[in-house]
Amino acid sequence: MMSGREFFISRYQELGWKYEDVELKQAIRINSMNAEKASLLKRLESRGIKLEKIPFLEDGYWVCKSEFSVGATSEYLLGLYSIQEAAAQIPATLFTGLKDKTVLDACAAPGGKTVQLADLMKNTGAIIALDIEKRRLTALSNQLERCRVENTITYNLDARQVSRLDIKFDRILLDVPCSGNFATDKDWFKRRTITDVGRNAKLQREILTRATRVLKDDGEIVYSTCSLEPEENEFNIDWAVKNLNVQVEEVRCHGEKAPTSIFGKHLKGSIKNCRRIWPGRTQGFFVCKLKKVCA
């Protein structure tokens, strides 16, 4: 049967990773637009919150100890920091020169990465943030209000229909809907089958296709998932490189170089520029940067 714990674990083993149970640490990201880092750290320390700097992130900290929820402090409610898993903080940092750019966040809700983009852009330029579910856009609006984001327009729109907006983008974040991973969902192995993975991979290719059509020449796409399945990651990017006039750029970030030979399939050599993050100190994650090749 193409599902179940043993099935998926054996796939990970084939990819070179030995399964281990993980316990994720909560992480926060300082909104540098709203807070001066040293003074915020002092304020949180005075509340008895112990933080540890995440070595591979500029503004990220793990929460080591807190007597109460870090989502209920006045500093959080004032938008001085956000709660954002460590690996999830990586994608937005991979873009170059975000200031004054027109950026698409194609699958934006609940908005953690949208807020991070706005922070990196210092509220300049424009972010167009889409989500297919209206209910999730309300959560996104709340995040934007809490974090004092001023440069974002949100739409209740399927990412595959982005061309309706008639905008060409400099940068596109595709944090696409995916199958997730066992580190953040204790029932993951029970709930997921390879059919789900295939269905998500298909949707992700459709989103990639539509996104490249609205990307300017030389524009950048950062593609990420929190799935560990190659169909949603390396295979999709290999397909994109072969079909969508994009190339995989080298990135410097946490994670292993992605494999180029998977389950007997040989992928483009540039796929090694993608980063695969196995669960451990972070959740499982995959991220890469694509650049549109000039026509």
Partner 1 sequence: MKPITDFARQLDSNISLDEDLTVRKKNRYFLLNENLKRLASKDFFHAGICLGKEIDGVFFPSFNLLAMIADKRANKVIVDEKTEWLFICGRDVFKRGIIRVIGSMKKGSYTLILNSYSECLGFGQALSDLHEAKEGAVVNNILDIGDFLRREKSSVKTRS
38-64 burial: b if 16+ Cβ within 10 Å, else e: eebbeebeeeebebeebebbebbbbbe
Residues 23 to 52 in contact with partner 1, rule: CB under 8 A: none
The least distance separating partner 1 from the CB of residue 204, rounded to whole angstroms, comes to 24
Q: Which is nearer to partner 1, 6 or 133 (CB)?
A: 133
Residue 237 CB-density burial (10 A; 0-12 exposed, 13-18 middle, 19+ buried): buried
SS3 state at 84: coil
Question: C-beta of 41: minimal distance to partner 1 in Å?
Answer: 14
- Is the CB of residue 143 less than 8 Å from the CB of residue 111? yes
Which residue among 107, 147, 178, 226 is the active-site one? 226
Q: How far is the CB of 146 from partner 1 (least distance, A)?
A: 5
| Phi-psi sector, 112: left (phi>0), alpha (psi -120 to 50), beta | alpha
The site string for partner 1 over 71-100 (x = CB under 8 A, - otherwise) reads xx-x--xx----------------------
CA–chain centroid gap for 87, Å, is 8
The yes-or-no answer on residue 274 being catalytic is: no
Residue recorded with tokens 């956000």: 82
Q: How far is CA 12 from CA 99, 177, 187, 224, in A?
A: 39, 21, 17, 18
Q: Which range in 6-14, 85-93, 122-130, 221-229 contacts partner 1 by CB under 8 A?
A: 122-130
Q: Minimum CB separation from partner 1 for residue 79, in Å?
A: 9
Closer residue to partner 1 (CB): 18 or 134: 134
Give the residue numbers annotated as catalytic, written as ranges: 226
User: Which positions touch partner 1 (CB under 8 A)?
Assistant: 71-72, 74, 77-78, 102, 125-126, 128, 134-135, 137-142, 144-146, 148, 150-156, 165, 167
